[in-house]
Structure 1
């Protein structure tokens, strides 16, 4: 099997790196250490994404007729790796690339595509994801935020929690309950965040500035035309969306860069001499490369026109293992890096904390692997 990049792919990676070198500020690592949801980075990202779009590097894998360059899944993966290696200067707009855009293309009405895709492809729109609730996180089918149909609009009441980017987002991709059927009773609404009745409260956390929020909906009026898909179609749609989201963030690449930097610090201090340290670094590197290989197999499946299924959970869990191992390595052997010595490692540590929670908890991925990949019987309830 050939794992080498083609000349064109290598040139594309160099083009991205050169663009970042020319367009990121000199103090970028310090500036970006608080994560892609920080107010400063979010504001920076709006201008930066417009520049990416103008240079054909925001959605290079999209068809040309909707603002892309007509490239393929490998270029999408290269784009993600480079952006996350540099601390994700796209801010929350990486979600547009990973799953908002693809989901809009597959399920949006012609009117919704005409309204949202130009703004997304121009780098001018930030979304948030209204999924989790106080008692409905991993068990998403138990959500209770209610949308009652009243003539030509829905009236929405309920609460979401752990909502990334909600404080600065333009629109919420909101899951609501429109009937009591556990899965078929869930419906998606596209809700502008400045709609009357929406209250956003930031949750202080260790994982970065402005990253997670509570969102309250009190008699929020949403026109029927803002429904995404049919009533009760949400479970199908979010299954497609989450498959893209789980694979969209190349955490294995960020983890490997963090590991290499940690090892660099140890070597510079003459501390990379003990065999136990070397062995642990090698174990971390192996986990990063195993996760990379699992992701790349799925990228190739997309290139070949295949449908990505539960194997995405296997790749996601491999990435979680890599992130956790590298995070523990840094804490064990270069803890001073997290106390101000390295802005990059501090950023990685904050991102790594949520690796096993965001995009579906690691335990949920293991359940999917057991039932859908290994075909094991479900635990009696």
Structure 2
């Protein structure tokens, strides 16, 4: 097995770094610490993603027939790693290229693809995902937001919570209940966020400006043409989408970059010679590389045309462990960096402390690993 990047892949990574170095403002690290969902960064991302699109770097892994460069899963991973290393200047639009676009291609009607794909491709459209609910969390099968078909429209009532980007998003990828069947009763609607009856409230948090919200739907009228897939098909569609989402956020790469910066600060201060510091740094580095290897194994499955199952949850949980370890290392050994002139480490810390919640709670990932990978019985024998 060859663990080296090809010359073309190395050139692609360098091309991305060069573009970011020449395009992002000089105060980017200070600017980006406010969070990817802050109004300022969201507005910046619309212009920045337009520049990426114009230079063939927004979705190079998409097929050429829908505007991409026809590159493969490894280039998709390189793109995500570089963007996260630089603090994700795409803001919430990483969702568009990682999973919303590919999901539209696979399951959308021709009218939906014609409407939404050009908007995504222009680099100016922001989505949010209406998944979690107050009493559901990551247990999507227990959601209660109800959509009732009334002629040629659905009437939607319910509430979502922890919804990233909802305050500034154009469209919501909304999970609703259309029957009482636990899984087969869930249906997806694509809902414009300016539809009457939608109320968005920001939830104050430690992770940055405007990152999470609760969203209320009060007799919201959605045309039946905005249904995505068939009624009851959401569980299949979300399974496809989440595999792309969980692997499309290489937090392990951001964590490793933050760890390297923290170690450099300790070396400058003459503090890295202590055994306790070096041992903990080594553990963090090992966890980051274990997470990288787990993610890369799944990328290779894609290259080989193999299905990806519960292994994506295993890779996701490895990444959570790495993120948490690095965040704790910085708090323990370089706490002053979070307040004194190290915006990159502050940015990482804000994102690291929610690593076990965003993109699916860590506990849910462990349940999936137990049932789908290890095939453990749900009840003790």
The question of a shared fold, defined as TM-score above 0.5 by the shorter chain, is answered with: yes
Paired residue for 1:91? 91
Q: Structure 2: how far apart are the matches of 1:61 and 1:325?
A: 31
4+ residue segments displaced more than 3 Å: none
Q: Offset of 1:371 from its aligned partner?
A: 1.1
Q: Offset of 1:248 from its aligned partner?
A: 0.8
Q: Offset of 1:138 from its aligned partner?
A: 2.1
Q: Offset of 1:359 from its aligned partner?
A: 1.2
Check conservation: 1:340, 1:346, Cα contact below 8 A: no
Paired residue for 2:307? 307
Q: Is it true that 1:338 corresponds to 2:327 in the alignment? A: no
Paired residue for 1:375? 375
SS at match of 1:141: helix
Paired residue for 1:240? 240
Question: For each residue in 1:283-305, what CA deviation from the matched residue of structure 2 results, as whole angstroms up to 9, or x when unmatched?
Answer: 10000001000100111111111
Paired residue for 1:197? 197
SS at match of 2:187: strand
Q: Offset of 1:21 from its aligned partner?
A: 0.9
Q: Structure 2: how far apart are the matches of 1:51 and 1:379?
A: 53
SS at match of 1:42: helix
Paired residue for 1:111? 111
Q: Offset of 1:183 from its aligned partner?
A: 0.8
Question: For each residue in 1:164-208, what CA deviation from the matched residue of structure 2 results, as whole angstroms up to 9, or x when unmatched?
Answer: 000000000000011111111110000000001101111110011
Paired residue for 2:284? 284
Question: For each residue in 1:308-345, what CA deviation from the matched residue of structure 2 results, as whole angstroms up to 9, or x when unmatched?
Answer: 11111111111111001101100000000111331000
Q: Offset of 1:380 from its aligned partner?
A: 5.7
Alignment of 1:1-381 (within 5 A): 1-379=1-379
Segment drifting more, 223-232 vs 336-345: 336-345
Question: For each residue in 1:110-132, what CA deviation from the matched residue of structure 2 results, as whole angstroms up to 9, or x when unmatched?
Answer: 11111111111121210000001
SS at match of 2:372: helix
Q: Structure 2: how far apart are the matches of 1:77 and 1:266?
A: 30
SS at match of 1:183: coil
Q: Offset of 1:307 from its aligned partner?
A: 1.1
Q: Structure 2: how far apart are the matches of 1:340 and 1:172?
A: 38
SS at match of 2:89: coil
Q: Structure 2: how far apart are the matches of 1:222 and 1:150?
A: 10
Question: For each residue in 1:115-153, what CA deviation from the matched residue of structure 2 results, as whole angstroms up to 9, or x when unmatched?
Answer: 111111121210000001110112211111110100000
Segment drifting more, 365-374 vs 254-263: 365-374
Check conservation: 1:207, 1:351, Cα contact below 8 A: yes
Check conservation: 1:324, 1:352, Cα contact below 8 A: yes
SS at match of 2:155: strand
Q: Which structure 2 segments of 5+ residues have no match? A: none
Q: Structure 2: how far apart are the matches of 1:195 and 1:365?
A: 34
Q: Structure 2: how far apart are the matches of 1:306 and 1:364?
A: 24
Q: Name the count of aligned residue pairs.
A: 381
Q: Offset of 1:249 from its aligned partner?
A: 0.3
SS at match of 2:175: strand
SS at match of 1:238: helix
SS at match of 2:218: strand
RMSD of aligned Cα (Å): 1.0
TM-score w.r.t. structure 2 length? 0.99
Question: For each residue in 1:52-99, what CA deviation from the matched residue of structure 2 results, as whole angstroms up to 9, or x when unmatched?
Answer: 001000000011121101111111000000000001000000001111
TM-score w.r.t. structure 1 length? 0.99
Q: Structure 2: how far apart are the matches of 1:309 and 1:174?
A: 23
Q: Structure 2: how far apart are the matches of 1:35 and 1:82?
A: 17
Q: Structure 1: how far apart are the matches of 2:364 and 2:106?
A: 25
Q: Structure 1: how far apart are the matches of 2:180 and 2:377?
A: 27
